[in-house]
Structure formats: C-alpha cells, structure tokens
Amino acid sequence: MTLRKRYDLATSHLEPPFAIVDLAAFRSNAANLTRRAHGKPIRVASKSVRCRTLLEQVLAMDGFAGVMAFTLPEALWLAEERVSDDILVAYPTADQSALARLADDEHAAAVVTVMVDCVEHLDLIEKATGGRPVRVCLDIDAAWRAAGGRIRVGALRSPVRTPEQAGGLAREIARRPGLRLVGLMAYESQIAGVGDDPPGKPVFSRAVRLIQAQSRVELARRRALIVKAVREVADLEFVNGGGTGSVEKTAAEKAVTEVAAGSGLYQSVLFDHYTNFSGSPAALFALPVVRRPAPGVVTVLGGGYLASGVADRSRLPQPYLPSGLRFDAREGAGEVQTPLLGAAADRLRIGDRVWFRHAKAGELCERFDALHLVDGDRVTATVPTYRGEGRTFL
Ligand SMILES: Cc1ncc(COP(=O)(O)O)c(C=O)c1O
C-alpha cells in the first residue's frame, strides 16, 4: 500500500484539516537519533514536539533523558505534570512571577534549571526569588567567527564566549548563596541546524561543509577549555550541546555529557538535506481539496502555516502527498485557501486530501488542537498538542 493510501485509509473517519503523527516513522526517527548519540543521553527539545503524550513516549525510550524546555511557565507545567524530573529551560527568562513560582514550589525548584549568560540575569533571579535556591545553567556562545570577529556564522545568543568569561560568571554565581550552577550549554546552530546538502546548490553546500568542519574543530577545543574552567568553580551535572543535525559529532566530544534533539523526531522539512543522516517524515497535516479553478490546479482549505525564522521560501510548508504539487508563486501558502499546481492536481477531486509537512517541527502543533497517532493503517489514539491543552507558551 502506498503511504498516501495508508494515511487516507487510517484517517477516513476524520474531516480535514487535521494533523497526524505516524508512530512507525516517529519511533524509527527516535532510534536513529539514539544510535547517532553513541550512548550519550539525548535531552528532548520540547519546542520541537509540543505534545505532552509524545514527550512522555520519547522519555520512556532508552537513550533519552530530560527535557529541554523553551519557557519557564512551560517548565513549571511539565514539572507539575511530572513529565520529567530534569527540565532545562534553554532560553533566558525575564518572567518574575514564574521565577517566584519556581522558588515557591519545592518540587519545581529541584527539577527545573534556568538559563543565564550575564550578571543581570543573576540579579533578576535573586530579586524574583528572594535568594531562595535556584538551579542555573550557563549558556555559551557557540558561533563560528573569522576575520578577527568581522564574520560570524551561528546564532546570536550568549555574550559568554571564552573560558575566562565563563569562569568569571561561574565565580559570580558561586558568590550568590541561592544560585547553584549545575549545567553548561553551548548550541552550535550553524552545524546542528543548517543542512550541508541542499539540492541544486553545490557551491553553497561546499562552503557550508567547509565552515562547519572549521567550526567543529574550533568549538570542540574551546568547549573543552570552558568546561575545564567552569568545573574548577562548580560541580557540573551536565554539559549540553548540539541538536538534530549534529548529534553524532557533538556526542563525540569528551567534554559534552549529553546532546539535545527534537526536530529529528517529526523530521520536518528543514532537516531533509544533511549528508550525515536522514529521517522519515512523521508529522503531517491534511487539508481538503475544496475547488478546482482550472485544469492543473486544485485549491485546498487553509495551508498558510509558515515557520519562524528568515522569511524566505524555506519557511513554507511542503505539499507532500500526492507528489508533484507546488504552490503558485504569486499566492504561496494562503491564509484561508491555497491553490496547488501540477499534473497531480487533475487526479484530485473535491473532498480529497492533500498531505503537507511543516518546515519546522513543533510549530505545527500551534495550528492544531490534537495529533492523531497513526499505527499502520489505523488511528490508535488522539492526543492533545500543547495548544489543545490550552498551553500556548510562545
Ligand atoms: C539550545 C538549543 N539546543 C538544541 C536545539 C536543537 O533542537 P532541534 O533538534 O529540535 O533542532 C535548539 C534548537 O533551536 C536549541 O535552541
């Protein structure tokens, strides 16, 4: 049976729009990630899953341990729901009331770690918590720089870059009685989040591979020195690095104790073109064909579920099944309807479904209340997304 037939059959009782997760693909993607991690635990990036049931399923698998959350209110909720007893908020917070709630809740304060990269963060945390115990993690800039800093490749995140800066901030944390430095994180977005094999771009691909290779060497050296400097001051429980695109390389660094990954579970479009791994599309959404404006064109309802980031074509969803459909260059993916062009359009009738993939993983869940879990040719469960639980953190 073709994939399309299987998905159509499994969901024949549902009215699109709706979203599914193919459990076989999801499990095989998870196994792929743990195989690549070579025994180092993977902290699951919740922003790329945004479904409590699936987070719990991943955490029950061998090779996964801990959650990388994206906001403190989310982390407090996951702690309250006992999703994990190790929740790292990977981005700094300025949410005073959530910090106060963290300090008020003995369980949350024991299992949640917040991110810091400057003295201002420390002051803010102390003020909000009244100096009560808080676990903190130090975020390190992992970008690659060249030409004396004039060229930077990688996300603009932490201002802490050198072993001296990291050691200095670690000492400042140690001076504050409520704060406990338990972790260090350095996320190399320029390696983990940039495909090195985009189709039809041989020159660009070569440049990406060259920069990634240099960045890997530079970061491995610097990360080891930073970990050493910080370990002189604090007893670190974990050193986190990497993401879906870099799991095996990051895990191979001795100084790294765990890697993070999430997008590789759903295998969203932006993770399709890497030489070191390939996953199976696991999260899809179905839209109904609602009209046929002209030969070679069908129109589906909705579809404009664009991903965050630089606003270019890579943020569009992908018409996936049947194959051979494309957006109209002038309309793209529409707010309420989306024309699709291509020979396959003439074989579609009103009421048929077109299956799409989102460019990013977890953002799909901000569009749908529920995910229908497909096992073989049946929907075996329907589970709420974060949004479906009324939890829209960002
Ligand atoms: C701090 C951090 N670690 C890891 C990741 C990787 O997550 P994913 O595997 O979903 O790309 C991200 C993604 O942006 C991140 O911000």
* Dihedrals phi, psi of 210, to nearest 5 degrees: -65, -50
Distance CA 317, CA 304 (A): 8
**Residue 45 CA, ligand 1 centroid: distance in Å:** 6
**Residue 330 CA, ligand 1 centroid: distance in Å:** 32
Q: Going by CA atoms, what residue is nearest to atom 5 of ligand 1?
A: 243
pTM for this one?
0.97
Q: Going by CA atoms, what residue is nearest to atom 2 of ligand 1?
A: 187
**Residue 363 CA, ligand 1 centroid: distance in Å:** 13
Is ligand 1 within 6 A of the CB of residue 138?
no
Question: pLDDT tens digits, residue range 203-222?
Answer: 999 999 999 999 999 999 99
**Residue 273 CA, ligand 1 centroid: distance in Å:** 17
- DSSP annotation of 307 reads P
Element (H, E) at 295: none
Mutate to test the pocket of ligand 1, among 240, 244, 394 (most ligand atoms within 8 A of CB): 244
**Residue 13 CA, ligand 1 centroid: distance in Å:** 35
Is ligand 1 within 6 A of the CB of residue 48?
yes
Q: What is the structure's pLDDT at 81?
A: 98
Identify which of 251, 229, 228 has the alpha carbon closest to the alpha carbon of residue 240.
Answer: 251
**Residue carrying the six token digits 């945004």:** 50
pLDDT along the chain (394 residues), means of 10: 97 98 98 98 98 98 98 98 98 98 98 98 98 98 94 96 98 97 98 95 95 97 98 98 98 98 98 96 98 98 97 96 97 98 97 98 98 98 98 96
